[in-house]
């Protein structure tokens, strides 16, 4: 079997599924080092480099393997550099400032050298102690022609040359996380940027060759045009109801149990998101309580799972979409998945056929749906002797009209409905009028890697899919007063989604390129959270807000909109977090400033949050689920 090697998030090496923090390969005393790593034989050649700031300094890591040879990692310290802390473009002038090594010497000059030849532009720089600043007229970098030019920046202090870069702020992917304004000079576009090695360069190119818009992220729930849904919505809903009625007219009959206690229906087990994390945490807790559990992924679109699968949990895919194919059925829309469910665009008539077969094959035990469409399908198509439990990850009022109507009518045939908040329990119990058992079972917080957060950190964290629901546009606006008063603080937003490009433009136009960073998705949220002291939830609505509890479990102070639903039940305002009125950007700014400016308050809020998060320990939540499973379906011998 060929060995798989991958570098993720510019800081972790994955070898045959085993993750290695590159910084951990640097000797404690510093200096260069070469390590030979164990890996399965027969792997393909590898030649990758990463520049990363570590506690011992800035290192270049070279991961290499000749065809069939051993895998080696060379860690080599880089020469001292000038650490850029802020850049801004004012008209056609680039302002840059930062830190230099002690005793760097005078005089000081900023050099811009065109890549590929010896053309240089030199301007004076100012050094005071261990700080430097310089101004560069970007017009000096405009060379006539249709070519694309790149100018590398360095600082000359006496006889010492220092490359400009940012390596020590904990952001390994600045070239992706931030963007600076471009100056329009004549018919050219001149823009400072970070290279893949986090050094500062300037790009000059014809305006007509400006970079294209970012491509859409894969498997985002907002990817299909909403106009098409509005135009085709009512006929599609009617077709769905008829198709489901016909499919349910021939119920399966279980001859004997197949030895599976619990099956969890998930849209995409290989994807990212809070529902995936919560479902895997539930599966793990049930396995640890002695149940046999299978996660049934309705679709599969990735080779490797974004989150590692828990030990002891079987994961299978109904409709594997990686290789294309599927014929005409793949090109026709689904009839069984509700058109008003966000899962609808990712399913097809082929998905329907495969999913019906899979549901019919279930024998005994409990099937748990994790979104409305799958809950409705499980209720209608499960064979006799199989218990159907719905798990709602979204709040009672969040469903589209057609879906909400079917939920109220057809959830009555479920054996039980598990919701995340007490408010939802009351609403669903009232709507179903006692026909279905409704219980509150909040999401469990999986055990996260990384250390406990430090109150002295000047990093605020937010995380979630980059879509309208999560309200990151509101958060960027709320952060403006914080950045103005405290430019030494950072806001890091983790996640991916279709609003990434719009958020980048908003950050750029607000002048927050050195203050707000779009970090991309992370496989290791615990490590990301441990770098901050403050977590912000700016959602317009939530089903629960498990990411709040995850942040609290790492000891971060949390500030959140009191949106429907979840935050108001999770946070005790003023004790283990701060709640502000939903959607009130000014109130969010004031709350953030209050926490940012008071380290002792952050420490106290974080300590209380850590204690409160224990209510959502996987053992405690898993015990509730185990009791429900045992009540509805006796253990299979």
User: In which band, very low, low, confident or very high, does the pLDDT at 258 lie, cut at 50, 70 and 90?
Assistant: low
Same domain flag for 496 and 409: no
Element (H, E) at 280: helix 274-288
CATH of the domain at 505: 3.40.50.2000
Same domain flag for 201 and 70: no
- Distance in angstroms (rounded) separating the CA atoms of residues 187 and 176: 26
pLDDT one-digit tens code per residue, 498-550: 999 999 999 999 999 999 999 999 989 999 999 999 999 999 999 899 999 99
- Domain boundary (77, 106, 130) is at 77
Please compute, for residue 275, the number of CA atoms within 13 A of its CA located in the half-sphere on the CB side.
25
- Domain boundary (31, 52, 77) is at 77
Say if 229 falls within a structural domain: no
pLDDT of residue 225: 35
Say if 233 falls within a structural domain: no
User: In which band, very low, low, confident or very high, does the pLDDT at 215 lie, cut at 50, 70 and 90?
Assistant: very low
Same domain flag for 395 and 269: yes
Same domain flag for 313 and 405: yes
User: In which band, very low, low, confident or very high, does the pLDDT at 223 lie, cut at 50, 70 and 90?
Assistant: very low
Same domain flag for 72 and 97: no
- Distance in angstroms (rounded) separating the CA atoms of residues 616 and 553: 9
pLDDT one-digit tens code per residue, 621-632: 999 999 999 999
Say if 454 falls within a structural domain: no
Q: Is residue 166 within 8 Å of 177, Cβ to Cβ?
A: no
Residue 19 domain boundaries:
5-77
With 0-12 CB in 10 A as exposed, 13-18 as middle and 19+ as buried, what is 92? Answer: middle
Q: Please give the share of the chain, as a percent, with pLDDT higher than 90.
A: 74
Burial 99-124 (b: 16+ CB within 10 A, else e): bbeeebeeebebbbbbeeeeeebeee
Top-confidence range, 17-26, 70-79, 446-455, 587-596: 587-596
Say if 332 falls within a structural domain: yes
Say if 228 falls within a structural domain: no
- Domain boundary (53, 77, 101) is at 77
Same domain flag for 429 and 480: no
Same domain flag for 626 and 610: no
Same domain flag for 383 and 283: yes
Say if 18 falls within a structural domain: yes
Rg of the chain over Cα atoms, rounded to whole angstroms, equals: 27
User: In which band, very low, low, confident or very high, does the pLDDT at 118 lie, cut at 50, 70 and 90?
Assistant: confident
Same domain flag for 64 and 162: no
pLDDT of residue 429: 95
pLDDT of residue 228: 38
Question: Which residues make Cβ contacts (< 8 Å) with residue 471, sequence separation at least 6?
Answer: 538, 539, 540, 561, 583
Same domain flag for 269 and 132: no
pLDDT of residue 235: 85
Same domain flag for 423 and 533: no
Would you say residue 213 has pLDDT above 90?
no
Say if 226 falls within a structural domain: no
Q: What is the 3-state secondary structure (H, E, C) of 599-615?
A: HHHHHHHHHHHHHHHHH
pLDDT one-digit tens code per residue, 399-443: 888 999 999 999 999 999 999 999 999 999 999 999 999 999 999
pLDDT one-digit tens code per residue, 457-488: 999 999 999 999 999 999 999 999 999 999 99
Classify the phi-psi angles of 259: left when phi > 0, otherwise alpha if psi is within -120 to 50, otherwise beta: left
pLDDT one-digit tens code per residue, 582-618: 999 999 999 999 999 999 999 999 999 999 999 999 8
Say if 245 falls within a structural domain: no
Would you say residue 167 has pLDDT above 90?
yes
pLDDT one-digit tens code per residue, 23-53: 999 999 999 999 998 766 667 788 999 999 9
Would you say residue 218 has pLDDT above 50?
no
- Count: domains in the chain: 4
Q: What is the mean pLDDT of the chain?
A: 90
Q: Could you tell me the CA-to-CA distances from 168 to 58, 179, 198, 595 in Å, in that order?
A: 8, 18, 10, 24
Same domain flag for 487 and 513: yes
Beta partners for 384?
253
The secondary structure of residue 267, as a DSSP letter, is: S
pLDDT one-digit tens code per residue, 46-72: 899 999 999 999 999 999 988 777 889
Would you say residue 497 has pLDDT above 80?
yes
């Amino acid at each position: 079997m060929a060995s798989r090697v991958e570098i993720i998030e510019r800081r972790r090496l994955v070898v045959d599924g085993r993750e290695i923090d590159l910084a951990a390969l640097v000797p404690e005393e510093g200096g260069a080092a070469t390590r030979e790593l164990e890996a399965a034989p027969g792997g393909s050649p590898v030649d990758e480099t990463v520049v990363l700031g570590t506690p011992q300094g800035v290192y270049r890591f070279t991961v290499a393997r000749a065809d069939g040879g051993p895998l080696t990692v060379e860690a080599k310290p880089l020469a001292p550099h000038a650490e850029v802390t802020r850049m801004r473009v004012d008209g056609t002038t680039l302002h840059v400032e930062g830190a230099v090594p002690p005793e760097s010497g005078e005089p000081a000059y900023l050099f811009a050298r065109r890549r590929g030849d010896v053309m240089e532009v030199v301007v004076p720089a100012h050094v005071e102690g261990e700080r430097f600043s310089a101004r560069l007229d970007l017009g000096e970098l405009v060379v006539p022609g249709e070519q694309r030019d790149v100018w590398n920046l360095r600082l000359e202090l006496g006889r010492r040359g220092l490359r400009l870069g940012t390596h020590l702020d904990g952001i390994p992917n600045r070239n992706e996380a931030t963007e600076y304004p471009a100056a329009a000079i004549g018919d050219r576009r001149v823009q400072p940027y970070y290279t893949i090695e986090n050094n500062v360069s300037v790009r000059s190119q014809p305006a007509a060759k400006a970079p294209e818009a970012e491509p859409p992220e894969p498997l985002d729930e907002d990817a299909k045009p909403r106009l098409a849904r509005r135009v085709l919505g009512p006929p599609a809903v009617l077709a769905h109801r008829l198709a489901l009625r016909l499919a349910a007219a021939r119920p399966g009959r279980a001859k004997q149990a197949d030895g599976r206690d619990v099956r969890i229906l998930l849209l995409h087990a290989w994807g990212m998101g809070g529902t995936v994390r919560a479902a895997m945490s539930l599966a793990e807790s049930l396995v640890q309580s002695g149940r046999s559990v299978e996660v049934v992924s309705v679709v599969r679109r990735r080779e490797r799972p974004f989150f590692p699968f828990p030990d002891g949990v079987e994961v299978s895919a109904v409709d594997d979409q990686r290789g294309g194919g599927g014929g005409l059925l793949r090109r026709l829309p689904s009839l069984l998945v509700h058109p008003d469910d966000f899962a609808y665009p990712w399913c097809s008539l082929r998905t329907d056929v495969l999913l019906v077969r899979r549901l019919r094959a279930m024998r005994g035990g409990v099937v748990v749906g994790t979104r409305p469409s799958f809950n409705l399908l499980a209720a209608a198509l499960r064979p006799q002797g199989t218990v159907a439990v719905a798990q709602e990850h979204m709040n009672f009022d969040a469903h589209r009209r057609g879906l909400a109507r079917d939920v109220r009518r057809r959830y009555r045939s479920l054996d039980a409905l598990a919701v995340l908040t007490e408010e939802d329990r009351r609403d669903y119990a009232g709507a179903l009028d006692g026909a279905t058992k409704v219980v509150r079972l909040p999401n469990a917080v999986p055990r996260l890697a990384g250390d406990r957060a430090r109150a002295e950190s000047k990093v605020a964290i937010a995380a979630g899919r980059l879509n309208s629901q999560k309200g990151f546009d509101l958060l960027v606006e709320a952060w403006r007063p914080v950045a103005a008063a405290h430019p030494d603080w950072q806001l890091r937003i983790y996640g991916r989604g279709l609003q990434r490009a719009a958020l980048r433009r908003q950050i750029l136009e607000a002048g927050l390129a050195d203050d707000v960073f779009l970090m991309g998705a992370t496989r290791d949220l615990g490590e990301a959270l441990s770098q901050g002291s403050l977590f912000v939830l700016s959602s317009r609505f939530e089903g629960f807000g498990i990411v709040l509890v995850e942040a609290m479990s790492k000891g971060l102070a949390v500030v959140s909109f009191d949106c429907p639903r979840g935050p108001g039940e999770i946070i005790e305002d003023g004790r283990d977090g701060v709640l502000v009125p939903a959607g009130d950007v000014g109130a969010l700014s004031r709350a953030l400033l209050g926490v940012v400016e008071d380290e002792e308050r952050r420490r106290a809020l974080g300590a209380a949050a850590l204690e409160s998060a224990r209510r959502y320990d996987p053992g405690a939540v898993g015990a509730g689920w185990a009791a429900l499973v045992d009540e509805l379906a006796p253990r299979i011998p």
